[in-house]
A and B are shown apart, each in its own frame.
Chain A
């Protein structure tokens, strides 16, 4: 478990003090995939690097499995870092070493395994990420997705319990992103690996995260389970992320609304309610006609959800809304 207690970070630039991260509290449970989302400069990268102290906190304490890492000696810090994996946006593989040597590097640095043990561990890791055939190639000969898989194998070499991901998919195309996220998802389940990832893409959060914290200007403005934050965003920054992810444009929505009559509501289904044949049922019972203005049925990690915008015409609209509410559907009235 990772715990931030009133951690904050400020830089000194000349005489001025610049706050990178305002005092924040955070709890990340073992086995969770925790997403930190924010625009560039929001402080997410700083927050991630505080965990393995690539950045030193200005104040506060960071507990990892109960141990305060801000109090570690230089030697203790090196040993602690050996138990933590990290992957990067630009992979940061050594261009002078082969794929196998890159993966072997953390093991060689730790110096606790014989070279036989190292090579069998490397072979196993490369097999797990599907790169056995590329063991003797150099990073420059690989595609972006392959490089990131080398990065993941290298990060997991010392069997860490925590993996830090620094914009791990931001340099990859959508298909490769999906594959890398799938791999992270599997590793999280197989190894009960805690994953902390930072991203500026809501889609990454939606696909694999359990929990999310939204950062804006060095502050955590919203945090909680992904479905909660994603389906019912409260802070303007979060709302903007959701809108971007849904490719919604407020002006378009308003002009659509002008073309329909009746009341406009937005329904949010979650879990099994997503698949229930609810709309037709409610329409029959209350005599309301509905038309769908927009919507999406998808998953947040494993939880199905649906979000529909409807206009209701005729019948007993109030009764229809009441029925929907009683069926565990969140109803927002956009136009009364």
Chain B
């Protein structure tokens, strides 16, 4: 057994885990901050909604679809000059967050749009009939009613981001994925590969069950 784990440097594993968590935390915050308003905008301007804007919605949809169809590994490389502009580096945790956010935001925004479409139209009508402004409709009716759906969307996005952070290792982002590629794959250290994969698996499990619990907690139907 000791022989099998001979290549493992637990300090490296610990540091890589911290890097992964920081990348995940940082990118999920920015993804939600950008994706939530974008999702609301997509919803409001979408077909048969309150502020239906066919041209605007089509354009916004196209941008979202282009970003979503771009393989993340390509996005990582294409984003490098832009990342340098924002963070001053394309390496490490700071260098990974901009491409992670760019990759996850359109995905998250679509999920938010779908969650908002699930809100009963009658509730929006009732809120309008009370004399609510658009802002009040969004914050007092739409978002609270869609809360379980939005939490589920955050969960799915966070899990997608876990696999993105692993890929970001390729362009020098650090983290568990980086360790898996450099040691596990390139140096044939299977033990390192196994440990990193198990850690990623545990992380995904925790995120999923946390998300599920929150969804149940906020569901009133």
Interface residues of A (CB under 8 A from B): 52, 54, 77-82, 84, 86, 88, 90, 92-97, 105-106, 108-110, 138-140, 164
A95 near B129 with CB under 8 A, answer: no
- Cβ of B55 within 8 Å of any chain A Cβ, yes or no, is no
Residues of A within 8 A of B221 (CB): 95, 140
Task: For the complex formed, measure the closest distance between the CB of B213 and the CB atoms of chain A, giving whole angstroms.
Answer: 17
Whether A140 pairs with B128 at a CB distance below 8 angstroms is: no
Does A88 lie within 8 Å of B122, measured CB to CB?
Answer: yes
Bound CA–CA A2/B120 (angstroms): 30
Closest to B218 in A: A96
Distance, CA A105 to CA B145, complexed state (A): 14
Q: Check if B129 sits within 8 Å of A84, measured CB to CB.
A: yes
Residue of B nearest to A97 (CB): B144
A contact residues around B69 at 8 Å (CB)? none
C-beta contact mask, B123-140 vs A, less than 8 Å → 1, else 0?
101111111110010001
Known contacts A92-B125, A94-B141, A138-B220; is-contact A106 B130 (Cβ 8 Å): yes
Contact partner of B129 (CB less than 8 A), chosen from A86, A97, A108, A110, is: A86
- Once bound together, how far apart are the Cα atoms of A77 and B221, in whole Å? 32
Is the beta-carbon distance between B130 and A82 smaller than 8 angstroms?
Answer: yes
| CB-based nearest B residue for A90 | B122
Q: How far is the CB of B216 from chain A (nearest CB, A)?
A: 14
Contacts of A92 in B (CB 8 A): 120, 122-123, 125-126
**Which of B123, B126, B144 counts the most A-chain CB atoms under 10 A from its CB?**
B126
| B147 at interface, CB cutoff 8 A | yes
CB-CB < 8 A to A109: which residues of B? 127, 130-132, 136, 140
- Establish whether residues A110 and B131, one from each chain, have CB atoms under 8 Å apart when the complex forms: yes
B131 to A94, Cβ gap below 8 A?
no
User: Chain B at the A interface: mostly helix, strand, loop or mixed?
Assistant: helix
19 additional A-B pairs beyond A78-B132, A140-B220, beta carbons within 8 Å, are A52-B129, A77-B131, A80-B131, A82-B131, A84-B129, A86-B126, A86-B129, A88-B126, A92-B120, A92-B125, A94-B144, A95-B145, A96-B145, A96-B147, A96-B220, A105-B127, A109-B127, A109-B140, A110-B131
Digit string of B202-221 for contact with A (CB within 8 Å is 1, else 0)?
A: 00000000000000001011
Residue pair B122, A94 in contact (C-beta under 8 Å): no
Is the pair B145, A54 in contact by a Cβ cutoff of 8 Å? no
A84 to B132, CA, bound (A): 12
Q: Is the CB of A54 within 8 A of B140?
A: no
Q: Smallest CB–CB gap between A76 and chain B, Å?
A: 10
Tell me the smallest distance from the CB of A106 to a CB of chain B, in Å. 4
Among A84, A90, A95, A140, the most chain B Cβ lie within 10 Å of the Cβ of A95
- Chain A residues lying within 8 Å of B133, measured Cβ to Cβ, are 78
Going nearest first, the 6 A-B pairs with the smallest beta carbon separation are: A81-B131, A92-B126, A82-B131, A92-B122, A78-B131, A138-B220
Contacts of A93 in B (CB 8 A): 123, 126
Q: Can you name 29 A-B pairs with beta carbons within 8 Å?
A: A52-B129, A79-B131, A81-B128, A81-B129, A81-B130, A81-B131, A82-B131, A86-B126, A88-B122, A90-B120, A90-B122, A92-B120, A92-B122, A94-B144, A95-B145, A95-B220, A95-B221, A96-B147, A96-B218, A96-B220, A105-B130, A105-B140, A106-B131, A109-B127, A109-B136, A109-B140, A138-B220, A139-B220, A140-B221
